């Protein structure tokens, strides 16, 4: 290994969905001698099944059917391997562990129990992908990420301990990289008691960036099913086009505000260590992709439009809020106690509106009756669902006359429930009814990019 260049390659769920997809990934790994660490997601669909099981609301029959669906995905890959007897034993042992955890409904009442189950998808895909790599002629070893990705004990949303991760990666991973490629699991880690934790949905990208940081890599590749990051989601408008470059700041905004290609925290380690991040398609690597770096050749006013679905708006209102100090801290105190993470806030004289991200299959806490009840003790509360958040990501949108007016012009015909503008020069966000968001994005795209 040339010690001056190290690349971490991460393959997402669709890239490791089946044997043929894994073969594409193996070729990508083999073609770049700098790639010494591979991070994999669970095969597409598996984590969703595991979340269904972890939610602990299924009948025994439903549990068995869900496990059968997972087994089908894993065995279809196993069967395509040439010499698979030993791997089959390992896979079967992981599946029995999974089954035991899935039926242990008492254990699943805790977030700790849920994480023990949620980690199974990555543990199976890394086992299988290691074998696919070997079959492609690449010396590879399956490495348990939990030995290195140390986190706090916030199960479901562990916070990584950067220093420990760096220490462990240097001790346990770096020396092995000369001999073989280490294949490890995204998304999972362990706390100080060696209990399994997870980094939140989509967390495999974050794992890759954390390892890139810990091992002083120059680049981190995120291989997925699209040829880079687009001006907007191509499923919303076919005028969307891939972006050759993005700045760290823009990418971080896009990820936070709904661009599905990157986990929002991914850019944090990249930024700290100035690691260039690449996003491309493992099915079509020859098509190139998006490079995300500190400095771009251009910093356009408008770079992209993102949409985040499933937003809940909570409006809290009290006449006594007028000039009352401490009201907001009360509200946020209640939300914090229930581990609710608030995204946008707008205030008016007697009311405050907040948005909360509420996607299905999320492990994040959702607003529930108890939280509403707690809030009602200090104010009136209205909860409205069915919103999407549309965000224009760019640069210096505040500073130049006419830059924001073009955005409002495009939105003339739309009803905007909440506008957030000003907290940061890279973003301007609008809360709109979910049935209008396609049109909002399309209109903005046509005004700003076409």
CB closer to ligand ASP, 41 vs 135: 41
* Residue located via tokens 């009442």: 109
Choosing from 113, 186, 189, 285, the residue that interacts with ligand ASP (CB under 6 A) is: 186
**Residue 228 within binding range of ligand ASP, rule CB under 6 A:** no
72 labelled binding-site residue = no
Residue owning tokens 């229930």: 338
43 is an interface residue for ligand ASP by CB under 6 A: no
Q: Is 156 in the site for ligand ASP (CB under 6 A)?
A: no
Residue 264, interface with Mg ion (CB under 5 A)? no
CB under 6 A: which stretch of 39-47, 85-93, 216-224, 295-303 binds ligand ASP? 39-47
CB of residue 99 to ligand ASP, shortest distance in Å: 19
Per partner kind, with CB cut-offs from 5 to 8 A, the member of ligand ASP, Mg ion, none near residue 187 is: ligand ASP
Residue 12 phi, psi dihedral angles, 5° rounding: -80, 180
- Of the candidates 339, 342, 337, the one whose C-alpha atom is nearest the C-alpha of residue 314 is 342
In degrees rounded to 5, what are phi and psi of residue 397? -70, -15
Smallest separation (angstroms) from ligand ASP to the CB of 203:
5
12 is in an annotated binding site: yes
Q: Known binder of ligand: residue 47?
A: yes
Per CB under 5 A, the list member of 6, 7, 10, 12 interacting with Mg ion is 12
Nearer to Mg ion by Cβ, of 202 and 264: the residue is 202
> Does residue 201 interact with ligand ASP by CB under 6 A?
yes
Closest contact distance (angstroms) between CB of 258 and ligand ASP is 15
41 is a site residue for ligand ASP (CB under 6 A): yes
435 in a known ligand binding site: no
125 binds, among ligand ASP, Mg ion, none (CB under 5 to 8 A by kind): none
* 8 close to 220: Cβ distance less than 8 angstroms: yes
Find the shortest distance in angstroms from Cβ 188 to ligand ASP.
9
From 1, 31, 27, 41, select the one nearest 174 (Cα to Cα): 1
23-31, 168-176, 200-208, 358-366 -> range binding Mg ion (CB under 5 A): 200-208
CA torsion through residues 272, 340, 361, 124, sign: positive
Q: Residue from 6, 17, 22, 42 that binds ligand ASP (CB under 6 A)?
A: 42
State yes or no: residue 121 binds ligand ASP (CB under 6 A).
yes
User: Is 261 part of any known ligand binding site?
Assistant: yes
Q: Which of 160, 189, 203, 264 binds ligand ASP (CB under 6 A)?
A: 203
Pick from 121, 160, 202, 285: which binds Mg ion (CB under 5 A)?
Answer: 202
Residue 10 marked in a binding site: yes
280 binds Mg ion (CB under 5 A): no
Q: By C-beta, is 48 or 346 nearer to ligand ASP?
A: 48
- Smallest gap from Cβ 149 to ligand ASP, in A, equals 13
Q: Is 158 in the site for Mg ion (CB under 5 A)?
A: no
The entry of ligand ASP, Mg ion, none near residue 203 (CB within 5 to 8 angstroms by kind) is ligand ASP
- In terms of CB distance, is 156 or 202 closer to ligand ASP? 202
Binding site for ligand ASP (CB under 6 A): 12-13, 41-42, 47, 121, 186-187, 201-204
Residue numbers belonging to the annotated binding site for ATP: 10-13, 224-225, 230, 235, 260-261
Query: Binding site residues for substrate, as ranges?
Result: 47, 122
The residues that touch Mg ion, with contacts defined as CB under 5 A, are 12, 202
């Amino acid at each position: 290994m040339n010690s001056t260049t190290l690349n971490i390659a991460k393959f997402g769920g669709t890239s490791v969905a089946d044997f043929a997809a894994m073969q594409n990934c193996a070729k990508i790994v083999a073609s770049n001698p700098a790639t010494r660490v591979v991070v994999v997601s669970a095969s597409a669909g598996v984590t969703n099944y595991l979340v269904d099981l972890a939610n602990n609301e299924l009948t025994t029959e439903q549990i068995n059917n869900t496990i059968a669906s997972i087994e089908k995905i894993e065995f279809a890959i196993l069967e395509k391997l040439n010499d698979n007897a030993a791997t089959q034993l390992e896979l079967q042992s992981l599946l029995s562990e999974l089954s035991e955890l899935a039926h242990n409904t008492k254990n699943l009442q805790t977030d700790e129990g849920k994480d023990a189950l949620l980690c199974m998808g990555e543990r199976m895909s890394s086992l299988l992908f290691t074998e696919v790599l070997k079959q492609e002629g690449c010396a590879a070893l399956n490495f348990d990420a939990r030995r290195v990705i140390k986190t706090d004990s916030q199960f479901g949303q562990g916070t990584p301990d950067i220093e420990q991760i760096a220490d462990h990666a240097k001790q346990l991973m770096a020396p092995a990289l000369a001999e073989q490629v280490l294949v490890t699991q995204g998304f999972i880690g362990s706390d100080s008691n060696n209990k399994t934790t997870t980094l939140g949905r989509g967390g495999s990208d974050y794992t890759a960036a954390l390892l890139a940081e810990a091992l002083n890599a120059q680049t981190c590749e995120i291989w997925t099913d699209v040829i880079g990051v687009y001006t907007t989601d191509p499923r919303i408008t076919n005028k969307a086009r891939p972006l050759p470059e993005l700045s760290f700041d823009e990418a971080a905004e896009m990820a936070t505000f709904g661009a599905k290609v990157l986990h929002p925290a991914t850019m944090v380690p990249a930024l700290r260590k100035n690691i260039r991040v690449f996003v491309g398609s493992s099915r079509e690597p020859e098509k190139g992709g998006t490079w995300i770096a500190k400095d771009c050749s251009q910093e356009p006013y408008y770079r992209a439009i993102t949409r985040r679905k499933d937003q809940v708006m909570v409006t809290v209102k009290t006449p006594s809020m007028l000039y009352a100090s401490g009201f907001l801290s009360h509200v946020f105190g209640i939300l914090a106690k229930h581990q609710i993470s608030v995204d946008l806030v707008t205030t008016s004289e007697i009311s405050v509106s907040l948005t909360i991200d509420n996607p299905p299959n999320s492990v994040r806490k959702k607003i529930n009756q108890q939280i509403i009840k707690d809030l009602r003790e200090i104010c009136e509360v209205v909860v409205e669902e069915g919103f999407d958040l549309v965000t224009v990501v760019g640069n210096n949108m505040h500073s130049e006359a006419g830059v924001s007016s073009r955005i409002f012009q495009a939105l003339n015909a739309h009803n905007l429930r909440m506008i957030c503008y000003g907290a940061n020069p890279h973003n301007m966000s609008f809360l709109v009814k979910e049935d209008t968001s396609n049109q909002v994005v399309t209109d903005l795209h046509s005004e700003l990019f076409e």
